[in-house]
Amino acid sequence: MSRIVANRYEIEDEIGRGGMAVVYRARDMRLNRRVALKILHPFLATQTESAARFLREAEAIAKLHHPNIVEIFDTGQDEETGSHFLVMELLDGVTLTEFIHQHPTAIPEIAIAMGCSLCDAIDHAHKANIIHRDIKPENIMFSGDGVLKLMDFGIARILDAEKMTASGSLIGSPAHMAPEIIEGHQYSYSCDIFSLGTVLYFALTNALPFQGTTPMAVFKAILDNRYSPPSRLNLSISKKIDRLVARCLKTDPAERYQSTEELKAALLEPLSIVDMSDYGEVISKYYANPEAFNTENIPRIVGHLNDSAQLAVKEHRLPNALETLNTILTYDPANEQAAALLKKLRTGSQIKKKAIIAGVIGALLAISIILFYALPVREIFASSNQPSVPVEQGTQSAAVQPVQTAESDVEQKPTGDSDAHSDEQGTEEPSVYEAVSNEQVSSAGIERADESDLLTNNKLNTEPEVAAHDAANREELPANVKSAETESHKDSTGGNERGTRPRTSKKAQETAQNKETPVPDDTVEQGTDPESKPDEEVKQPEVITFTQPVFPPDGYVFIAGKRYNANENGDVQIGLPPGTYSMTVTCKTRCIPRKMSFEVTPNTQNTTLETVTLDWADASLTVNTSDSNLYFVAVRLDEQGRFTKQIDYLIPSSPKSFNGFNPLGNKPIKLEVYAISKSKQLTGMTRSNLEKEKSASTRVELLPGDNRSITF
């Protein structure tokens, strides 16, 4: 005999269960309709806080009546077991998690449309002073007709108009929790916008933005705002959508969208371009048959995008045009209209680039000629060829310069001379790879490298980089150290070094030292000439010692031109006077350098700072072929060599970047690369399609920073 709850609800079967309750499919015998019956676990029924949370869900949902929020019909307590229950509308669909796993999003606008529906639901709750606090794909379901429903308000907080606090213990799903909730700070409606950003990311990429092996590792990733842009996992995602998601995921609530209405307005922009503004109907049609929807709508979307690219070129919005063309070619690598426009832009860019280079060279030649005749260069050359003449006592030779001239010579001294002192200062010059290659590493996808060719004068920085001039400056010694060391070096070598004054006799040197030569106050740096003030004692600054952990453990740190290496555990021991410093962290195993500022105070003494975790540098793969009738796709494999659902398009002769290396080890990315005839239509790109239609295939392994090339 089936179980009956509260003499009204007949349980038929179990739908699912969680940490607090079990959900059953049941029949309301009084109204003769199917319902979802959610019953609190019996062992929690006697726990005051658990029961209160359960009833709070009923109180929250009872206030809400919206097409995108699951409706509650009844609530009560079973007299027989004492368990609390909720009676809700029964949804015949699947959760968003299950749906995205089964049907990875091929059209990014579908995920954006889902975001609009969820904005409607969250906005309705916010207007009722309710914060959900646990928005995640598992708490979003489809109804049978493809309508998204937000559910499980079990940890929602009902807000009063005076104060919004995060009292109580930390409750929620780690991967979707806003930073202010993690840190126990005051929170507001903005925390739901952060969680919605993680849901959008998942719907777009079939992956979570913040990941880790433990909840604490996930929390750290959230607080550090460390994640890969969605476009690096799904090439058809535009930079505009990247920026939209990034704003939702800002660590500071003030930098996010300030309301769901503002977020929805931003979401509608990309939908309007491809004529999908009726997002509710779009979701229903897509839910009914995702594969058929893609087959029917991708050509239509490509047509809209081609129109948008043409308009962007006409209005001289070159970055927008390039971004749109990239999106078109991910949908249709053989699209002739997009390829023709891209070729036209490349040709125009090359002509413009050559004109600019010619102009720069001409300007430099003109400046060189002007300087040659404007400055006494010929006299300098003539004097440099004259032999040094001993200076008679009481006279001053033109070859003997005041002190400030020697200091200026030291500043002009090539870095190769200062390398002789690097061991004394505890520095170690980085290798060519570290000093040059690391600084050129960009986390932006290499498949979008066309922009760098076309935007020579409008370069966009998408990731923090170590600037080229920093690579040189970080190896320089402080001014006072350089001056003192250079003077001692000149004394030991007779002063006949590059950039120093000509050799003079010992008698002339003594004469120059004994003679009082007036030196302006503004040219003397403190500590550069200790003998100028023999009675004044120079006070040494206090040194604060602390530890900076880095990952991977072979990392090292540059601060004020000095290199600090990590020990075998990845701990870097540093000693600095109090002050504000700029620090660059990098490693030997092809990492992306990170640059940051920090302050050293007396409170920093003997402390261990937060670990700086470096991302692996992207690898790139180039496919070469003489057959113009082929296009290529790469399927990522897991560590055991099994196929995953992540597929990347490869454009012949254009490097494609790959990211997502294992954060816990320098493990390779494994790929199966397929050559497919352009005559084949492989919507969805499943493995069975690829195996059936391939002309050839090969396997490739990439390590961080690799630049591989394969030929078909």
| Residue 594: strand pairing partners | 585
pLDDT tens for 469-513 read 333 333 343 444 344 344 444 444 444 333 333 444 444 444 444
* Cα 629 from chain centroid (whole Å): 36
| C-alpha neighbours within 13 Å on the C-beta side of residue 626 | 0
Question: 328, 338 in Cβ contact below 8 A?
Answer: yes
Mean pLDDT of the chain: 74
Separation of first and last alpha carbons in the chain: 66
pLDDT tens for 382-393 read 444 444 444 444
- Name the residue among 147, 159, 142, 152 with its Cα closest to residue 173: 152
pLDDT tens for 133-161 read 889 999 999 998 999 999 887 666 655 43
Euclidean distance between CA atoms 208 and 198, whole angstroms: 7
Is the model's pLDDT at 626 over the cut of 60? yes
pLDDT of residue 430: 41
Q: How confident is the model at residue 330 (pLDDT cuts 50, 70, 90)?
A: confident
Is the model's pLDDT at 302 over the cut of 80? yes
Choose between 327 and 100: higher pLDDT: 100
What tokens appear for 9 in the block? 């609800």
Is the model's pLDDT at 528 over the cut of 60? no
- Name the residue among 232, 336, 368, 71 with its Cα closest to residue 661: 232
pLDDT of residue 63: 78
Q: In what order do the strands lie in the sheet with 9-17?
A: 4-5, 9-17, 21-28, 33-40, 84-89, 72-77
Helices (H), 494-571: 506-514
pLDDT of residue 159: 57
Q: Using alpha carbons, list the distances in angstroms from residue 389 to 378, 383, 491.
A: 20, 12, 19
pLDDT tens for 646-664 read 788 888 888 888 887 776 5
How do beta strands 619-624 and 707-711 pair?
parallel
Q: Using alpha carbons, list the distances in angstroms from residue 452 to 235, 307, 350, 449.
A: 17, 23, 12, 5
What tokens appear for 403 in the block? 């002190």
3-state secondary structure of 13: strand
pLDDT of residue 507: 45
Omega before residue 577 within 30° of 0, cis: no
Pick from 112-121, 425-434, 624-633 the range whose average pLDDT is largest: 112-121
Cβ within 8 Å of residue 468, ≥6 positions away: 439
Choose between 256 and 517: higher pLDDT: 256
Is the model's pLDDT at 637 over the cut of 80? yes
The C-alpha angle 167, 224, 109, rounded to 5 degrees, equals 95
Choose between 402 and 546: higher pLDDT: 546
- Name the residue among 271, 139, 284, 121 with its Cα closest to residue 202: 139
Euclidean distance between CA atoms 710 and 364, whole angstroms: 42
Identify the burial level of 500 via C-beta atoms within 10 angstroms of its C-beta, where 0-12 means exposed, 13-18 middle and 19 or more buried: buried
Euclidean distance between CA atoms 238 and 327, whole angstroms: 7
pLDDT of residue 508: 44
Is the model's pLDDT at 521 over the cut of 60? no
Least confident of 98-112, 187-201, 450-464: 450-464
pTM: 0.52
